[in-house]
């Protein structure tokens, strides 16, 4: 099945059969781990989207960010190279040293702390689960919006191998391989690799090159699994990956063709911005905008100041599982290193006015001990201990015009987190269940400093310590063996951070969210349906802005978020599946009186008239706006998807035709309603044939078939406003083989 709404199955049933008893596992059921143990999705009182390995392939989902196309209420935006997932209006508004996302991302149980490493390519992925709503009890800090769980394949003693090659528009090429083999009946190893590269789809107005944005990403991963005894297993993994992809940094000048509220429309033009002389171009820097300013995908990429983003990752992971008799123990140990470099023209004009070389180092160590009760008893419980340590280091080099660069500051923070938690479900009666849980977390942000631009003089920042308790309570009732209804309360928080090198030395308090949800789930394997209504109290929102050319982070806002979402999957016949899902989210700032508001500072006739800042002509001047009652940023009122899959026998093999349509209503990239993205829809189609031996696969696919161009992000600073556009219509062919 291709198209996935909230009720999408993790495994697809081959046929419809009578419903077995409630205690009997059946093929095709939706099995999830949202409560840190395997359970039927309909028995879990959390809104979940679950996508299986087969569904990932047929839905053309190749990167984690693609999951948003089949998940109502999820957006996967970015700020520069930082990923910013948002669930039900709760997302990251601050990207800074020591600041993590509001949606936690976990791969095989391991937390991915670096926001520059979360928009990764998917390799041998078994399933993806999107948990909606705060997950503060079982997953802890930085899950106010929810969590995304990625599960990959483990080594198997049964030999297997597969390979897939894909070629598409813009010379897009992807090569994937996986192999596993047993060294004995208790030892297995595997290895997988991925290479993805292409020419890019941006047009450079400096030389009319229409292949700007070339990228090449590759990764390798290997693992060994040892069943030490019947009750103890050890899985060790090593991953190395490298990303060289400037796509998220290639910006053109942002212009609102309708002259948005208080927003400027004067930017450097193509005619005077194509040469490499900053001095000459400045003379014409404020002429009326040319077609460059409004045409999606047009950028200025002067050879002397190329845009580039690279990231290298090395990760060592160890998972130990042991049967203790009374419970199962799982130990998760991770050592991870990420190093990224951003080369970017930050002024969003057609001249190399201000360029940066930003180096980011991220070092992470995590250790978790998870205890889970044995299945079958009236009391099911989970308990754990968690330790997290992460060090972020930023070094900035800048050039006013073409390189060479000069030192322009930097910062570093070390974050430590300690937590203990317990969560238990008690069967009050055969159909009534009570769940209660609590987590205590202690966070320390310390060893922090920042460097003054040019002089590189170091200033230390005092440590910041916080404690948080995040409880959870749920009452669930089962009207039948195939349905359940629930009411829940959960609390989450995003950890506090430091204003390292900013305009204020005041620490930023943790964000807090209290969530109330009621829901209903039904799944008889032919019809799967769920619906949930929710209401959030969200306070101490961490908000970033600019003041006198420096970044300023404050706890400046509170909000209320309410909504309803639903999804359904119906197996019309043995050959035809239909899915539909939608979410309405009313996310509004309740109190945000000092929201950032940006205006263009033109001393020759700016409107409105403002005193130019220290940067001088062409800079962006920030004032404030009362955004109380405004729509929260990156929080569309409605998102939805509908799709269908038809499959039948053809030439002895299996033929399938799948399609999906995703829609989002309009939203804003900021809190003051200046940078609006209109609503749009995206259509995808895939035709696939599997040969009679079930070993070879041929597929033809198309993405964004409606050729909608929309902004993936808007970047703003004291020098300019820039926008990054999505890719145009793409298509391709894929060949796969497995042995």
45-67 per-position pLDDT tens digit: 999 999 888 788 778 888 888 89
Q: 96 falls in which pLDDT band (50, 70, 90)?
A: low
Evaluate if residue 24 carries a pLDDT over 50: no
Sheet holding 209-212, edge to edge: 209-212, 202-204, 298-299
Instruction: Find tokens 């940066």 and name the residue.
Output: 356
Q: Three-state DSSP class for 248?
A: helix
Sheet holding 252-253, edge to edge: 252-253, 721-725, 711-716
CA distance 737 to 739: 7
Q: 8 falls in which pLDDT band (50, 70, 90)?
A: very low
More confident residue, 106 or 274: 106
CA distance 732 to 167: 5
CA distance 725 to 654: 37
pLDDT of residue 601: 57
Evaluate if residue 4 carries a pLDDT over 60: no
Give, as one character, the DSSP assignment of residue 575: T
Q: What tokens does 704 get?
A: 């964004």
Evaluate if residue 606 carries a pLDDT over 80: no
Q: 192 falls in which pLDDT band (50, 70, 90)?
A: very high
pLDDT of residue 538: 96
- Ordered domains of the chain (ranges, CATH): 31-738 (2.40.170.20)
Q: Which residues pair with 187 in a beta bridge?
A: 226
CA distance 592 to 227: 56
Helices and strands, counts by H and E, the chain: 3, 43
Buried/exposed 186-196: b ≥16 CB within 10 Å, e otherwise: ebbbbebbbbb
Q: Which residues pair with 148 in a beta bridge?
A: 105, 130
pLDDT (tens digit per residue) in 387-402: 999 999 989 998 877 7
pLDDT (tens digit per residue) in 276-295: 333 333 333 433 333 344 46
Do β-strands 39-40 and 31-32 pair in parallel, antiparallel, or remain unpaired? antiparallel
CA distance 13 to 26: 9
Of the chain, the percentage scoring pLDDT greater than 90 comes to 57
Q: What tokens does 545 get?
A: 């802005």
More confident residue, 60 or 174: 174
Evaluate if residue 660 carries a pLDDT over 80: yes
Q: 339 falls in which pLDDT band (50, 70, 90)?
A: very high
pLDDT of residue 554: 81
Q: 92 falls in which pLDDT band (50, 70, 90)?
A: confident
Helices (H), 193-341: 270-273, 278-283
Q: 620 falls in which pLDDT band (50, 70, 90)?
A: low
CA distance 478 to 470: 27
Cβ neighbours for 375, distance < 8 A, ≥ 6 positions apart: 37
pLDDT (tens digit per residue) in 409-427: 889 999 999 999 999 999 9
pLDDT (tens digit per residue) in 487-532: 999 999 999 988 776 656 688 899 999 999 999 999 998 999 999 9
Contact criterion met (CB below 8 Å) for 680 and 667: no
pLDDT of residue 217: 92
Do β-strands 355-373 and 298-299 pair in parallel, antiparallel, or remain unpaired? unpaired
Q: Which range scores top for mean pLDDT: 227-236, 520-529, 547-556?
A: 227-236
Q: Distance between the two ends of the chain, CA-based, in angstroms?
A: 23
Contact criterion met (CB below 8 Å) for 663 and 583: no
pLDDT of residue 247: 83
Contact criterion met (CB below 8 Å) for 33 and 149: yes
**Half-sphere exposure in the Cβ direction for 621 (13 Å, CA):** 20
CA distance 659 to 684: 6
Q: 633 falls in which pLDDT band (50, 70, 90)?
A: very high
Nearest to 193 by CA among 179, 181, 183: 179
Torsion angle (degrees, nearest 10) of CA 414, 445, 311, 451:
-80
Q: 303 falls in which pLDDT band (50, 70, 90)?
A: low
Q: How many CB atoms lie within 10 A of CB 616?
A: 10
Q: C-alpha angle 375/379/380, rounded to 5°?
A: 50
CA distance 480 to 62: 38
* Extended beta strands in 33-135, E state: 39-40, 47-52, 74-79, 82-87, 90-91, 103-107, 110-111, 125-132
Do β-strands 202-204 and 298-299 pair in parallel, antiparallel, or remain unpaired? parallel
CA distance 650 to 575: 13
Backbone angles phi, psi at 265, to 5 degrees: -130, 15
Task: Please give the average per-residue pLDDT across 328-335, as a whole number.
Answer: 98
Evaluate if residue 268 carries a pLDDT over 70: no
Q: Give the mean pLDDT of the chain.
A: 84
Name the percent of the chain in helix, strand, coil, to the closest 5: 5, 60, 35
Q: 720 falls in which pLDDT band (50, 70, 90)?
A: low
CA distance 568 to 285: 53
pLDDT (tens digit per residue) in 63-87: 888 899 899 999 987 655 567 889 9
Contact criterion met (CB below 8 Å) for 470 and 492: yes
Q: 231 falls in which pLDDT band (50, 70, 90)?
A: very high
Q: 30 falls in which pLDDT band (50, 70, 90)?
A: confident
Q: What tokens does 20 get?
A: 């077995």
pLDDT (tens digit per residue) in 426-483: 999 999 999 999 999 999 999 999 898 888 899 999 999 999 999 999 999 999 999 9
* 404 prior amide bond cis, ω within 30: yes
CA distance 464 to 416: 11
pLDDT of residue 485: 98
pLDDT of residue 619: 57
Residue 279: in which H helix or E strand, if any? helix 278-283
Nearest to 699 by CA among 647, 642, 643: 647
Of the chain, the percentage scoring pLDDT greater than 70 comes to 80
Q: 116 falls in which pLDDT band (50, 70, 90)?
A: low
pLDDT of residue 94: 66
Q: Three-state DSSP class for 355?
A: strand
Q: 559 falls in which pLDDT band (50, 70, 90)?
A: very high
More confident residue, 684 or 266: 684
Evaluate if residue 16 carries a pLDDT over 60: no
Evaluate if residue 20 carries a pLDDT over 80: no
Evaluate if residue 44 carries a pLDDT over 80: yes
CA distance 326 to 329: 10
Evaluate if residue 681 carries a pLDDT over 90: yes
Q: Which residues pair with 63 in a beta bridge?
A: 121
Evaluate if residue 335 carries a pLDDT over 50: yes
């Amino acid at each position: 099945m291709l198209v996935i709404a909230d009720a999408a199955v993790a495994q697809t049933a081959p046929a419809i059969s009578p419903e077995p008893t409630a205690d009997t596992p059946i093929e095709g059921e939706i099995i999830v781990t949202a409560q840190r143990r395997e359970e039927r999705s309909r028995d879990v009182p959390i809104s979940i989207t679950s996508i299986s390995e087969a569904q990932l392939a047929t839905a053309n989902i190749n990167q984690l960010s693609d999951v948003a196309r089949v998940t109502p209420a999820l957006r996967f935006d970015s700020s520069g190279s930082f990923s910013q997932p948002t669930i039900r209006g709760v997302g990251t508004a601050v990207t800074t040293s020591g600041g993590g996302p509001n949606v936690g991302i976990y791969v095989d149980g391991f937390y991915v702390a670096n926001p520059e490493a979360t928009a990764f390519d998917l390799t041998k992925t078994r399933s993806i689960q999107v948990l909606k709503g705060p997950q503060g009890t079982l997953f802890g800090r930085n899950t106010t919006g929810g969590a995304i769980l990625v599960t990959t394949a483990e080594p198997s003693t049964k030999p297997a191998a597969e390979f897939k090659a894909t070629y598409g528009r813009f010379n897009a090429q992807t090569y994937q391989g996986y192999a596993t083999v047993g060294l004995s009946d208790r030892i297995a190893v595997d290895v997988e690799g991925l290479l993805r590269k292409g020419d890019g789809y941006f047009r450079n107005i400096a030389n009319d090159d229409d292949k700007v944005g070339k990228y090449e990403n590759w990764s390798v991963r290997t693992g060994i699994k040892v069943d030490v005894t019947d009750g103890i297993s050890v899985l060790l993994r090593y991953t190395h990956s490298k990303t060289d992809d400037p796509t998220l940094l290639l910006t053109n000048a942002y212009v609102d063709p309708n002259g948005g509220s208080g927003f400027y429309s004067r930017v450097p033009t193509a005619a005077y911005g194509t040469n490499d002389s900053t001095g000459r171009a400045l003379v014409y820097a404020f002429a009326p905008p040319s077609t460059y300013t409004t045409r999606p995908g047009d950028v200025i990429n002067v050879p002397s100041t190329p845009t580039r983003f690279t990231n290298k990752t090395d990760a060592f992971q160890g998972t130990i599982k042991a049967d203790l008799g009374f419970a199962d123990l799982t130990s998760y140990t991770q050592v991870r290193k990420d190093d990224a470099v951003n080369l970017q023209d930050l002024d969003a004009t057609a001249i190399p006015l201000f360029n940066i070389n930003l180096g980011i180092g991220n070092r992470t160590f995590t250790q978790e001990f998870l205890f889970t009760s044995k299945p079958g008893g009236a009391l099911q419980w989970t308990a754990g201990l968690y330790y997290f340590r992460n060090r972020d280091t930023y070094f900035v080099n800048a050039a006013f015009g073409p390189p060479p660069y000069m030192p322009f500051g930097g910062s570093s923070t070390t974050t430590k987190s300690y937590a203990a938690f317990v969560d238990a479900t008690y069967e009050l009666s055969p159909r009534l269940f009570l769940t209660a849980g609590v987590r205590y977390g202690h966070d320390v942000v310390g060893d922090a400093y920042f460097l003054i631009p040019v002089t590189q003089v170091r200033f230390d920042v005092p440590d910041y310590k916080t404690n948080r308790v995040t409880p959870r309570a749920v009452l669930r009732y089962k009207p039948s063996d195939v349905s359940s209804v629930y009411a829940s309360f959960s609390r989450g928080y995003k950890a506090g951070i430091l204003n390292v090198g900013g305009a204020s030395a005041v620490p930023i308090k943790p964000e807090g969210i209290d969530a109330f949800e009621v829901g209903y789930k039904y799944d008889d394997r032919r019809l799967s349906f769920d619906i949930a209504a929710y209401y959030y109290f969200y306070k101490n929102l961490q908000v970033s802005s600019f003041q006198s050319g420096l970044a300023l982070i404050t706890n400046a806002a509170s909000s209320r978020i309410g909504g309803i979402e639903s999804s359904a999957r119906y197996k019309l016949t043995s050959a035809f599946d239909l899915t539909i899902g939608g979410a309405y989210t009313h996310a509004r700032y309740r109190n945000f009186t000092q929201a950032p508001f940006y205006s263009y500072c033109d001393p020759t006739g700016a409107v409105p008239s403002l005193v130019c800042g220290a940067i001088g002509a062409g800079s962006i001047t920030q004032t404030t706006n009362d955004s109380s009652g405004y729509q929260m940023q990156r929080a569309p009122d409605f998102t939805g998807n509908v799709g269908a899959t038809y499959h039948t026998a053809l030439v002895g093999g299996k033929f399938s035709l799948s399609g999906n349509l995703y829609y989002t209503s309009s939203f804003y990239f900021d809190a003051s309603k200046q940078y609006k993205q209109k609503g749009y829809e995206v259509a995808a189609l895939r035709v696939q044939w599997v040969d009679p031996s079930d070993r070879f696969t041929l597929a033809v696919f198309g993405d964004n078939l409606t050729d909608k161009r929309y902004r993936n992000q808007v970047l703003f600073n004291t020098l300019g406003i820039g926008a990054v556009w999505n890719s145009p219509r793409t298509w391709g062919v894929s060949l796969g083989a497995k042995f």
